[in-house]
Chains A and B, each alone.
Chain A
Amino acid sequence: MKKILYSILLILPFIFGSCDTIPEENQLQALEGETSQTTPITESTSNQRILLEDYTGWACPNCPAAAVVAEDLSTTHGNKFVVMAIHTGVFAKPSATNHNLDFRTKAGDDWKTEFAITSYPSGVINRVKYGSAYSVSKDDWAAKVSEQYANMQHLLDINLGAKADTITKKILISVENKFLSNVDFPTLINIVVVESGIIGVQQDGANKIMDYEFKHILRDNPYINFPLTQASTASGETIKKNYLLNIDPDIKDITKCQVIVFVTNANTKEIVNVNKIDL
């Protein structure tokens, strides 16, 4: 009897894996967001642009310095440089000290995990991997950005139109993706909203800045990794898509927001190109 019980106990762990069942109504899900409505294209690109994802937090003492680096790069490169500040991790956790101002988002937390961000501030530049890591120290941002401008292929132009409707609480975004070369990998499109001009508490070294202006804060309800193209796309092809985004209820002032659209290589995660448009 003991042997039988012992045998069953020994073998049972092997069957902990079971069987997932997807209900019929969830098997094939229509992707929310795409719409037939359009808005005029007003923001066109004709150059390769770079997205800096600045992982930060209000309690991060070195992060204001990183924000300065980001601003300097924006000044240097103008419209070719796009910044998205992602508040996540331990330094972004709200408390009474910062009046419980919470800039964290689900997308930001997911990306922190995906790109293995463990120290702050950290930057991810066009989602290019350096060695085994995506994160780049702020002291290397300038050099890596210059390196990417020099080496990146200009494969795609992203032209944008956007209109916010505060009554329906939706943002309509029209995107034209113009492929300039043959692209032999599938691509994904990402649409996010960032907000600037929010005043709050920020740790700066040993000091606290009580009226710090936060910029380019990633807001909620983004569209992440929507399929844009499948296996390959020919040079000259233009793919037009329109999306309706729900306005994050935490947004303070929609007029201080930008929509950032970036297209990634579905195989490598690297950003193919990026563009932004003011609302």
Chain B
Amino acid sequence: MKKILLLIFLIALSFNSFAQGIFGGKVTGNFQMDLQASKKDSIIGAEEVKEKLLMNAFTNILYTNGDFSAGVRFEAYLNPILGFDKQYKGAGLAYRYASYKKDFLEITAGNYYEQFGNGLIFRSYEERNLGLDNAMDGLRVVARPMEGIALKGIIGKQRYYWEKVWEREDLGLVRGLDADISLNSIIKSMESSPFQMSFGGSFVSTYDKAEPMYVNNGSYKIELPENIGSAAGRIQMSYNQWSLNAEYARKGQDPNAVNGYIFHQGEAAFISAGYSQKGLGINVSAKRIDNMSTKSKRNETGNMLNINYLPALTRQHSYSLFAMYPYATQVNGEMGVQADIIYKIKKNTLLGGKYGTDLKLNYSKIMSIDKQELNPSTPIGAIGTDGYTSSFFKVGDQLYFEEINFEASKKITSNLKLSFMYSYQTFNPIAFGKEGKPFVYANIFAFDATQKLGKNSLRAELQWLKTEQTYGDWAKGDWIQGTLEYNIAGKFFVAATDQWNYGNKLGEKVHYYNFAVGYNKGTNRIQISYGKQRNGIICIGGVCREVPASNGLFATITSSF
């Protein structure tokens, strides 16, 4: 009850003070509530919801006054909607902080998010759709002693659901330092140079108290390191249209539940090079990951308590059939490449038409890394050993994921826009944790047309997934999906979607229909939908969570102030 009253007070306070501010400061914030009422549906595997109604909600309240800012976030999972970890059940202040800047220092006390470089050794962030929040609770200091130099220090413990982290000895203490130097800001003669260069380095150490661990029927004890350190160096360069971003990271011994308690040191490398000019963009990226799962609790699995972030080199799709087989980063080892070409055919040309035509070509391929035995008597990954050796440039022989996709979008008239997308995907179910299952090969098409009708618009979308794999689970044969969406003056919309598994040979050919209405006014938005949702996986940036099947009502309310 107290928490509800506090929430009401905070919201009332923010509305009241929006125009005038408090003590000369300003209050802003946002709010979101998701409601789900799902019923049991044995055909699609939707579980019974005994509570009848599930809810996720949060509100951020931020106060700024000159160089001072403070904020809170109240969250409520009463109870968590399907697919969200039940350990989130409850309500309370999940995030609170105070921060000020003085001269060249910026100090934050309480909760904060931060990232070093590309995140290979440290990234604290929130991804609400994944139910992922590893916010730090502690202190953050940023020093900018001069233009072009930024030094960051962090210390604290990560959020772990609603746990009182400072009372849990088994949750590790994270410390870190990052330095970023921009040469163009330091060297005056390079200030206006077309050649831009910055480099940086970071170091992160986690203290994770070691409990005795015994293996082989208790005959052996693993001596676990309590301080796990990682270091990274990075460089960013650009020259006119060319750019380069590279980072290399190394992790010390970190036997943990994800890597099977081996002492093999971790390693990650990421490089991205690009060329960009008007009408043309090319980007090529490559990465190598070797045993880089880093958590602040060595026995933890799943998405919680990740200290670092390992970027996915696959395209993030918004069309749902294209995202049917999403790829999850294999933190124990993978090597990948991705290439993107974006080209705009000029307007008033034969192929470009009156408005020009946008073309996108994307290719990605992810393979395993090569692993060799330490010696003939020690199998790869043997617990309590170094695990294996792996040559940096040698690619393994297991394909994890491959995709080529092409997209074209063209404005036909001032009121009509057409888009076409095609993708060929090769998917190894190891990404779902199902090693040894047959690959899935899928051809996927999408056609999208948007017609403006005065202030209104009508969008029609057709997607088609064609695959021979029908062995069940996630491989259920062919799918087709149609969507019609009508938008009235940008404020009101209605939509109808049907996703039909017509190629299912092992079960019912289910229609996953969905009807939605929504209303926007200013910064407020309400959307209500009713229908069936198939089970699947949602992945964002290589981190995934399961989405269970559901059948019923779903509503979302968002607002900001």
Q: Which one of B105, B203, B222 contacts A27 once the chains associate, using CB atoms below 8 Å?
A: B222
Q: Is the CB of A28 within 8 A of B385?
A: yes
Residue of B with least CB distance to A14: B153
Give bound CA distance, A19 to B266, whole Å.
13
How far in angstroms is the closest Cβ of chain B from A228? 7
Q: Among the listed B175, B205, B218, B223, which residue makes an inter-chain contact with A29, where contact means beta carbons less than 8 Å apart?
A: B223
A24 with B176, Cβ < 8 A, contacts A14-B153, A228-B218 known: no
CB within 8 Å of B: which A21-45 residues: 21-22, 24, 26-31, 34
Taking the closest CB of chain A, its distance from the CB of B230, in whole angstroms, is 8
Asked if A4 and B145 make an inter-chain contact with CB atoms under 8 angstroms apart, the answer reads yes
A7 at the interface (CB under 8 A from B): yes
Contacting residues, chain A, for B336 (C-beta < 8 A) = none
Given contacts A21-B253, A31-B218, A227-B214, contact A10 B141 (CB under 8 A): yes
Q: Are B205 and A17 closer than 8 Å at their CB atoms?
A: yes
A43 to B263, CA, bound (A): 43
Distance between Cα atoms of A11 and B252 in the complex (Å): 22
The answer, yes or no, to whether B312 is at the interface (CB within 8 Å) is no
CA of A65 to CA of B127 in the docked complex: distance in angstroms? 63
- In the complex, the answer to whether B176 meets A14 with C-beta atoms within 8 Å is yes
List, in ascending order, chain B residues with CB within 8 A of A143's CB: none
Binary contact track A139-183/B, C-beta < 8 Å → 1, others 0: 000000000000000000000000000000000000000000000
B143 within 8 A of A: yes
Given contacts A10-B153, A27-B263, contact A15 B175 (CB under 8 A): yes
B384 in contact (CB, < 8 A): yes
> Which of under 10, 10 to 19, 20 to 34, or 35 or more describes the interface residues of A?
20 to 34
Asked whether any CB of chain A lies closer than 8 Å to the CB of B229, the reply is: yes
CB within 8 Å of A: which B149-193 residues:
149, 151-155, 173, 175-177
Q: Are A20 and B141 in contact (CB under 8 A)?
A: no
Residues on the A chain within 8 Å of B386, using CB: 24, 27
Task: Decide if B45 is an interface residue (CB 8 Å cutoff).
Answer: no
- Chain A residues in 8 Å Cβ range of B227: 17-20
CA distance A189 to B224 in the complex (A): 21
Mark interface residues in B198-227 (1 if CB within 8 Å of A CB, else 0).
000001011100001011001111111111
Known: A7-B145, A27-B385. A20 touches B253 (CB 8 A): yes
B229: contacting residue among A7, A19, A29, CB under 8 A: A19
Complex Cα distance, B193 from A277, in Å, reads 85
User: Is there a chain B Cβ closer than 8 Å to A225's Cβ?
Assistant: yes
Using Cβ atoms and an 8 Å threshold, which residues of chain A touch B538? none
Chain A residues whose C-beta falls within 8 Å of the C-beta of B207 in the assembled complex: 17
Flag A225-246 by CB within 8 Å of B: 1 or 0 each.
Answer: 1111010000000000000000
Contact yes or no, B177 A11, CB < 8 A: yes
Q: Are A20 and B177 neighbours in the complex by a CB distance under 8 Å? A: no
A242 to chain B, nearest CB (A): 12
Q: Which residues of A contact B225 (CB under 8 A)?
A: 19-22
Contact A28 B220 (CB under 8 A): yes
Whether A10 touches B143, Cβ cut-off 8 Å, given contacts A15-B175, A31-B219, A31-B221, is yes
Given A22-B253, A29-B221, are A3 and B104 also a contact pair (CB < 8 Å)?
yes
Residues of B within 8 A of A24 (CB): 263, 386
What CA separation (Å) do A142 and B151 show in the bound complex? 62
Nearest CB of B to A177, in Å: 12
Q: Is B146 on the interface with A (CB-CB < 8 A)?
A: yes
A6 to chain B, nearest CB (A): 7
Bound: A15/B175 CA distance, A: 6
**How distant is the Cα of A3 from the Cα of B151 in the complex, in angstroms?**
11
CA distance A27 to B175 in the complex (A): 25
Nearest CB in chain A to that of B155: its residue: A14
A7 to B146, CA, bound (A): 10
Q: Are A11 and B205 in contact (CB under 8 A)?
A: no
Tell me the complex Cα distance, A28–B203, Å: 28
B-to-A contact residues, CB < 8 Å: 104-105, 141, 143, 145-146, 149, 151-155, 173, 175-177, 203, 205-207, 212, 214-215, 218-229, 252-253, 263, 383-386
6 tightest A-B contacts by CB? Answer: A19-B229, A28-B384, A20-B225, A227-B218, A3-B145, A7-B143
29 A-B residue pairings within 8 Å (CB atoms)? A3-B146, A4-B146, A6-B145, A14-B175, A15-B153, A15-B203, A17-B173, A17-B205, A17-B207, A17-B229, A19-B205, A19-B225, A19-B252, A20-B226, A22-B223, A22-B225, A22-B253, A26-B223, A27-B263, A27-B384, A28-B215, A28-B222, A28-B223, A29-B221, A31-B214, A31-B219, A34-B219, A228-B218, A230-B218
